[in-house]
Structure 1
Amino acid sequence: MEIKEIMESGIMETYIMGIATEQEIEQVLTLRKQFPEFEQELTKLEYDMEVLAQGMAIPPPPGILAKIEHEVNEIQLREQKVEKFSEQEHTTNREYANKDRYIEVESESSHMRIHKAWRWVFAAVFILAKIFLGFAIYFYLANRQAQEKILELKTEIKQNAPIR
């Protein structure tokens, strides 16, 4: 294959985007060493892709950098405290190495605790269920009564109908 055909095949684009296979990566690296024009085109394409990416970039909301910095600092402080705590624990563990230590875990009650807002939701659902049950019973009885009334009217019509 000619170098022009290889450059137009799209292998450079896949390499720059990071989606090339291992075989394609090896091919690009060898072509880069062998052909200076391939190296120049690859550099130019990398620059063009960088300019394109920077042009399409969306700036972060104001204050986000400070927020990220604050969270990173908190994580570092927590890690430092953990390291100090583990060093202290290591020295105190030597003293209590021969003693068996257990932590008893007991709950105060066997009831499940839920957030107060959910209590109102459960109460509302319970009340709505009772209301719908009442409507269901009412409409069932009304339907049954209407069916009986229809049956009576049908028999009355049959009785009063003239015989032909």
Structure 2
Amino acid sequence: MTSEEPTWLTAEQQRVWRSLHGVLLLLPIALDRQLQQDSELSLLEYYVLAGLSEDPTGAARLSDVAFLTNAELSRVSHLAARLEKRGLLVRRPDPADGRYTNAVITEEGRDLVRRAAPGHVATVRKLIFDALGEAGVPELGRAMDRIGTALSETDVPRIPGAGRRPPPGS
């Protein structure tokens, strides 16, 4: 019986991996703090409301919201209850299949997302795009596309719309 020695990361690969891992850990914390401070929303709450506001119907099944936010369905259900108490969304049975529950954004929810978005975008710009500089943006885009392609070749589910380029002028 033989066992192959693992192919370890080079020193440079290890440095880059640790840097990426640090960004994956710290970026959500920084974004969450900004949203909490400016809008009294958590990052998860913001992404739920923003996602609903971008849907033409303003609605989505809670199970879909859980998938898109990488959160457990029970966590999203509790979050929806909190947002409903704040008047930011309502929960309704899915008209296509009553076994599911939809989250539907309210006008108050839409207003809060509109007010929160500029600060969130400014923080994303400062932490990512300003740090990259103009030349670094396409470089990072290509790197993320390659990593996304590698992930798509695994059994990890794809996020709808990930990697999709927005229409010109948006």
Class of the TM-score when normalised by the shorter of the 2 chains: under 0.3
Query: Which structure carries more strand by proportion?
Result: 2
Report the structure, 1 or 2, having the larger helix content. Answer: 1
Please say which structure displays the higher CA radius of gyration. Answer: 1
**TM-score, normalization by structure 2:** 0.25
